[in-house]
Structure 1
Amino acid sequence: MTTHRSKDLRIVGFDLGHADTALAVVPDVREDEVIKQELPSAAGRTYVSVTAVAEHPAKGIILGVFAINQEDARLYVAFKDPSFDEEKVARPTRLFVQGVREDLKRVGRLPDDRPTRWVFGTPSGWSPEIRGRYLEVLREAGLADVEVVAESRAALLFARDSGEVRDRPARAKGRLQLTAADTVLVADLGSSTLDITVVTGRRANPVKDAGSALGASLIDIAIMNWFLRESPYRADVERHIEWNDFERKRLQFACRMAKEDFFTKDHPAAQQVVGTYTYEPLGGDENAFYPIRIGRTAMAEVLDTAQPALGGRGWREAFRDDLLLAAAAVKGKPSHVVLTGGASRMTFVLDYAREIFGDRVVMGSEPELAIARGLALAGRISERAKGFRADIADFLREGMVETVVRNHLGSLASRLGDAVATGAFEAHAIPAFRRWKRGEIRTLAEMEAQIAQAVSASLTATDNPRVQAAIVEWQNALHPDLNDLTAPICRRWRIRDEAMELAPVSVRDQTWSPQVGLAVVFADQAAAIAGVVASVVVGVIAAAVFSAMAVGGPIAWVIGFGAVITAGGSAAEKADELVRTANIPVAGREMFREASLRKKAPAKERELAANLAQKLRTDGADAIVAQVAHQLALQLEEQAKEAELLIS
């Protein structure tokens, strides 16, 4: 089998947010290292850059805080928006992405020693069409190898694989354990939105009517309004921003930095907390600087101020309402609630989440970097998963499943032969014999047809316990051989051997049905097998009739049997046909005893089992192998999709 290895590739997770941008890098997709990327435009914040880009007539493209503090430039901020068909969104997106890439190359943090794949995040609620347009804009920015991933998936991967997020306190010794069956609520709190998503396995469903308008930038605006209302420098500040949108954006940024400073210091044990930052308008004199100081009382006022965008609710109230909506959207309690986004650092965010969801709430030490690191992980997993899928496809294409099935075919034939033959006389022959004796069946040929129809129906019925048990036992006997073949693939991609194990099959809980059901095995063979059973059963009765008629007597001559016998030679075949098609008077049928039929049943059923097993090994072999192997291949493909979730 061909072995597929991940190629020499760098992955960059690019979390382009409404207010902030962070990057994380997998230097080599074949290795496990994920590093947070320093950004030249981050200035003192190191790893997190303000999502801002300015076009300067002389200096060109300027990013981050440098763009905000650049005079005589066209400034773009807060431009992450699904309206990519509008140039006011597409243009700054292209400029910012190009600028970040060129900055990294300029300082030697993106060497040309290997190709780079860029992975960007999108809110879960963005449609495939919007994501497609986003991809187009990113390619227009010069990124040839780029993909987009739901930020909820990135958050989940970060929580699972980073090692930073620990399990609930009761099991805090180990890293967070997530399985494909777990339901996880992901709350990504950003500047423009609260993106709440319910994730189960591969399925991610945004929580409708929750969080869409609830971004942390609303708090920045509320602080700015509070500052303009309460500051002793109100008149001077308003003079700078009244006709200058550039300066208004800079003031909002200053208010945001004061907010971040406040929540960095906010701790239950702190007696006094004051968030500070200084707004300095560009072009002002040396005395034009205006300190912003916000304490606990003022912050509580800001957070509880009614906002039109939130339906007249305060920010904290709206946030709590959205968490309650999310809790109601999850059927049962989520196994974990993962908080990401820099705004998750606000103290009350974690408090409210734990009030509603208890100790299921987890958050990394650097929530502002969680999505970037999760995106880098998603890119690495995607590349590794391609190799895993290719190995599984080769395994299925090279006929190994068919070989396993064929090797076990003799066992299936024997099991099915016994299952079909055992009790065949009691289930089919005796009832039909009684109906024939009562005259309800005219001829033995009609009896054979009725028995064949009944046997065929029982073979393909889902409630045939003997056949079910035979197939279930046989299928479970296949699993170890299949597991031995798939285990090396699992090890190659560093997932546990049992990830590709097919679930045990049982009749009791009917788990056999969606796997390899009776209809699959007998699709082409049921009628032929039923014919064999009916022929053998009726043959026993016909033999008794033949013997009785051969000695002569009134009934024999009535049906013309004697004339055929006296003809001798090849007329024996005609005699058999005559016996099977003769409508013997009901009175004449009384001479045939049920006890005699029962006496012959055990030996005939053993003979029948052997005949059926041989027929399945020969006439039905290729069809059964093809059908069963196809069903098992489909099941292994589905199992592989679940196994991919374990790749890291």
Structure 2
Amino acid sequence: MTNNKSMEILETVGFDLGHGETAVAKAIVESIEPPQMLEVNNKKNQITALGWHPKLGYLVGEQALIQAGVTRLEISFKEKPKNDAKYRETLSTFVATYYRLLKESKQIEGGETTYFYVGCPSGWSVSDRTEYQKLLQSAGIDLLNVVPESRAAFMQAKEAGKLEYEKLLSSVLIVDIGSSTTDFTLVKSLQEIPIDFGSNILGASLIDKAIFERTLAKHEQKQLLEKVFAEYPHHQARCELACRKTKEDYFSNEQLYSDAQSFARGFESINEQIYFIPQVNKLIMEEILHQPLAALARKSWMQAFREAVKEAKEQLDKQGIVPKILLMTGGASRMKFTHQICQEIFPEPETFVRPDPEPERCIALGLARVGRWDLRATAFKQEVNKLVESNKLEELISRHIPELIELLTQPLANGLIENAVRPGIKDWQKNKIKTLADLETSMKNRAEDWLQGNIAQLIINNQCISWFNKKIQPDLAAETDPICRKFQIPRSSLRFEDSIDPAFVNPELRIGDAILAETVGLIVNVIIGGGTLASIITLVLTGHFTWPIALVYGASAIAAGMELNRKGVQDAIKANVDVPGWLRSSFLNDRKIDEMCERIQPELEQVFQEQLTANQEAFDKLIAKVEQGLETALSTKVQEAIILIQ
């Protein structure tokens, strides 16, 4: 979707078109207020019914059922898209009628400013979804998207504050008990994965049917009713709905009907003489839930549900997944026994079973949230991409390279003195090294070993981390904070607050490792390969070591007539002079070595600084690496931050 399109969209409408009931909610895109339920015929939930009246035209919901003179009545018509003209017409007419009523009552704007999100079972394939979307758009709603109901249930639970952030990132099992199917969906780090059971017809309308069959079987005018139903199917539809209401009444007030004398009752009159009165109480419901049903291959509803939950458990066990939360939704999740079965098969404290308090509204509200979230998340990603694609990151890193060099010079110079210069000179003092040429080689080897060893790398590491946290971090936050403010999510979402020390950061964010390894390698190479080391050793030997020897040994050691310039003297001395062992300790006692090391430190730091600064090419590589690391890390952060968008 293009950005200007999302700018025009003011509201997202969650359209929960269920097999049994339909509900609609609306969210305002620019706000983080919870979505609001919309009403049709003054009701927030409607029976999914479409009626035709010769004078009044199409009616939906209760009106289609109650209005006298309705000649055609369709109920329970939501199913997978199929090439049946009647099915297609019923569905698109129902949606078009709903759309018209919502616009006429001024509850939605409609047109280009309203984006519809319609739910479908999570088990539907992508092609089912696309087909369904086309069919619904043919009702005259262009801006319409079909998304899995499980995603809506998850979003509603997350936003209504029922799920904590840690649990969101683990796995959540959603059990959606609808009127025609029971869907199981695993949501793992925000991706929904349907758990497939092949033919899934375990819907709560089977219970309505059983109540209907039972009432009909016991009816004194059974034969007559069967004739009426065959000839006027809308009468049967009405009687089945009466059974459905009886069931809902029973499960909403179970404790009332545990008494053998009290019944949940429904009522439907066929004419003045014939009534259809379904009734249930605890005893009857127990019987119905345990009776074998043809639709379920002779299993009872209760048994089939238990087996479905068990199968979901086995499938998750195979993958080694224990869901932290089991979310129950769908109107039929009001049946208490379903909670007990779920809790029994997924016991606490590993899994918490959370039934939705308003299952008939959950999906509509969730769909409106999913819609708003989609639009805002897309816009959010675009903002971050804009930052990544600009050259702001590169500028920001280059700006702070001098400070990185500064942070490195002092501890590295210090380390080289302690680990290469001082021990080398000590060896010479103790007569373990003969000539100064040997001393030069020994120092060079020690320096290389030390630089490639753990301690030097740790120093470079820590200095880089400190540079990243003190210099790069705040500048980056100045770029990302306004984006977070705009989308009303915590600023920390796009910050690398914890430091880039990989031990603290989400393991996905290998920014620390990648950048540090690169930097360490690069700096070690510059120092060893780039002649830095050679200049440092020459500086030590010539400036602070050879000269005093030359003065002491001056004439005797050097062929007469040789000019006393440093370079010549140094080369001659380096190769030839082997100061006698007994003289060495007095010539260079420990205090003198200390003084010498102290004098060398600032000079060494300067050589480091100059050499590292001069090595522009290496640092260009480093800038590119850090930038790449930041981009990767930011995109991971974006994936995490998206969860927080409302």
TM-score by length of 2: 0.76
CA distance in structure 1 between the partners assigned to 2:118 and 2:111 by the alignment: 22
Residue 456 to residue 426, structure 1, CA distance change in 2 (3 Å): closer
- Give yes or no for the alignment of 1:379 onto 2:371: yes
Instruction: Give the Å deviation of 1:101.
Output: 0.9
Quote the residue 1:588 is aligned against.
Answer: none
- How far does the alpha carbon of each residue in 1:27-59 deviate from its partner, in whole angstroms, 9 at most, with x for none? 56446252211123xxx8x22223334578887
Q: Could you tell me which amino acid in structure 1 is paired with residue 36 of structure 2?
A: I
Contact 2:451/2:457, CA 8 A, preserved across alignment: no
Change in CA separation of 1:419 and 1:220 when aligned onto 2, cut-off 3 Å: farther
Structure with the higher fraction of residues in helix conformation: 2
Give the Cα–Cα distance (whole angstroms) in 1 for the partners of residues 622 and 374 of structure 2.
Answer: 36
Q: What residue number does 2:519 align with?
A: 521
Secondary structure of the structure 1 residue equivalent to 2:277: strand
Which residue number corresponds to residue 556 of structure 1? none
**Structure 1 partner of 2:175:** 187
Matches within 5 A, 1:512-591: 514-516=510-512, 517-521=515-519, 526-531=524-529, 532-536=531-535, 539=538
Report if the CA contact (8 A) 2:424-2:442 is conserved.
yes
Q: Specify the alignment match of 2:33 in structure 1.
A: 32
SS at match of 1:144: coil
The residue aligned with 2:153 is: 155
2:371 maps to a residue whose letter is G
3-state SS of 1:196 partner: strand
State the AA in 1 paired with 2:607: N
**What is the deviation of 1:376?**
0.9
Moved more, 118-127 or 298-307: 118-127
Within 5 Å, give how 1:349-428 maps onto structure 2.
349-355=338-344, 356-358=346-348, 360-424=352-416
Change (3 A) 1:432 1:126: farther
Q: CA deviation at 1:424?
A: 4.1
Q: Any conservation in 2 of the 1:118–1:146 contact (CA below 8 Å)?
A: yes
Q: Which residue of 1 aligns with 2:327?
A: 338
Candidates 232, 245, 250, aligned match of 1:257 = 245
Distance change in 2, residues 1:27/1:637 (3 Å):
closer
| Cα 1:364/1:79, change in 2 over 3 Å | closer
Partner of 1:468: 461
Q: Confirm or deny: 8 A CA contact 2:96 2:139 kept in the other structure.
A: yes
What is aligned with 1:78? 77
Q: Deviations over 1:327-372 (max 9, x none)?
A: 5638676444332211122232334445545593334442101110
Q: Secondary structure at the match of 2:267?
A: strand
Counterpart contact for 2:116–2:145, Cα < 8 Å: yes
Distance 1:455 1:490 in 2: 44
- Residue matched to 1:634: 632
Q: Which deviates the most, 505-514 or 250-259? A: 505-514
Give the whole-Å Cα distance in 2 for the aligned partners of 1:204 and 1:643. 18
Q: Distance in 2 between matches of 1:367 and 1:294?
A: 23
Name 2:49's counterpart in structure 1: 52
Can you list the C-alpha shifts for 1:147-181, whole angstroms capped at 9, x where unaligned? 2333222112222334xx7x6xxxxxxxx644543
Identity %: 25
1: distance between equivalents of 2:439 and 2:504?
38
Bigger shift: 151-160 or 349-358?
349-358
Distance 1:105 1:4 in 2: 21
Distance 1:465 1:202 in 2: 37
The corresponding residue for 2:227 is 239
In the alignment, what sits opposite 1:172?
Answer: none
Counterparts of 1:193 and 1:335, CA distance in 2: 24
Distance change in 2, residues 1:475/1:242 (3 Å): same
Q: Aligned-pair distance for 1:194?
A: 1.9
Residue 60 of structure 2 is aligned to residue 63 of structure 1: yes
> Unpaired runs of 5+ in structure 2?
577-582
Instruction: State the one-letter code of the partner of 2:145.
Output: E
Say if 1:622 and 1:193 are closer, same or farther in 2 by CA, change over 3 A.
Answer: same
1:120 counterpart = 2:114: no
Partner of 2:144: 146
Q: Quick one: which amino acid aligns to residue 364 of structure 2? A: A
Query: Cα distance, 1:100 vs. partner?
Result: 1.5
SS of the aligned residue for 2:511 comes to coil
Query: Retained in 1: the 8 A contact 2:250–2:257?
Result: no
Which residue number in structure 2 is paired with residue 170 of structure 1? none
2:493 is equivalent to residue 499 of structure 1:
yes
The TM-score, its normalising length taken from structure 1, stands at: 0.76
Shift of 1:127: 3.4
* Counterpart residue number, 1:557: none
Q: Give the unaligned 5+ runs of structure 1.
A: 168-175, 554-560, 585-590
Contact 2:72 2:234 in 1 (8 A): no
Q: Is the 8 A contact 1:210 1:322 kept in 2?
A: no
Matched ranges for 1:168-179 at <5 A:
177-179=164-166
Select 1:278's aligned residue among 267, 279, 284.
Answer: 267
Residues 13, 373 of structure 1: 8 Å contact kept: yes
Q: Secondary structure at the match of 1:495?
A: coil
1:535-575 Cα distance to aligned partner (Å, 9 max, x none): 24664798699999999x9xxxxxxx99xx989999979x9
| Residues in 2 aligned to 1:348 and 1:569: alpha-carbon distance in whole angstroms | 100
Structure 2 CA distance for partners of 1:422 and 1:183, relative to 1, 3 Å: farther
Cα distance change on mapping 1:614 and 1:269 into 2, 3 Å: farther
CA shift digits 1:365-423 (9 cap, x unpaired)? 42101110111122222233334334333444444444543443333212333454443
Q: Deviations over 1:93-152 (max 9, x none)?
A: 323222211232344433469721101123333333333333332323322212233322
Bigger mean CA offset, 117-126 vs 259-268: 259-268
Secondary structure of the residue aligned to 1:148 is strand
Residue 473 of structure 1, CA deviation: 2.2
What count of residue pairs does the alignment treat as equivalent?
A: 613
After superposition, residues 211-226 of structure 1 pair within 5 angstroms as: 212-226=200-214
In the alignment, is the contact (CA less than 8 A) between 1:8 and 1:29 conserved in 2? no
Q: Greater CA deviation, 287-296 or 243-252? A: 243-252
- Matches of 1:348 and 1:20, distance apart in 2: 22
Q: Partners in 2 of 1:129 and 1:579 — Cα distance? A: 86
> Is contact 1:444–1:538 with CA below 8 Å preserved after alignment?
no
Whole-Å separation in 2 of the counterparts to 1:448 and 1:133: 76
Inter-partner Cα distance in structure 2 for 1:640 and 1:449:
47
**How far apart, CA to CA, are the structure 1 residues paired with 2:406 and 2:202?**
66
Q: Residue 453 of structure 1 contacts residue 530 of structure 1 at CA under 8 Å; is this kept in 2?
A: yes
Equivalent residue for 1:483? Answer: 477
Q: Distance in 2 between matches of 1:387 and 1:545?
A: 66
Deviation at 1:15, TM superposition (A): 0.8
CA deviation string 1:433-459 (max 9, x = no partner): 99xx999xx99999999889868866x
Q: 1:605 to 1:548 in 2, by over 3 A?
A: closer
Residue 191 (structure 1) shift: 1.2
AA partner of residue 296 (structure 1): K
Find the counterpart in structure 1 of residue 194 from structure 2.
206
8 Å CA contact 2:12–2:114 kept in 1: the answer is yes
Map Cα deviations across residues 64-108 of structure 1 (whole Å, 9 max, x no partner). 355567765484633322x45665654433232222112323444
Counterpart Cα distance in 1 of 2:201 and 2:12: 31
Determine helix, strand or coil for the equivalent of 1:464.
helix
Query: Cα 1:191–1:603, aligned 2, differ >3 Å: closer, same or farther?
Result: farther
Q: Give the Cα separation in 1 of the matches to 2:459 and 2:613.
A: 19
- Provide the residue aligned with 2:580 in structure 1: none
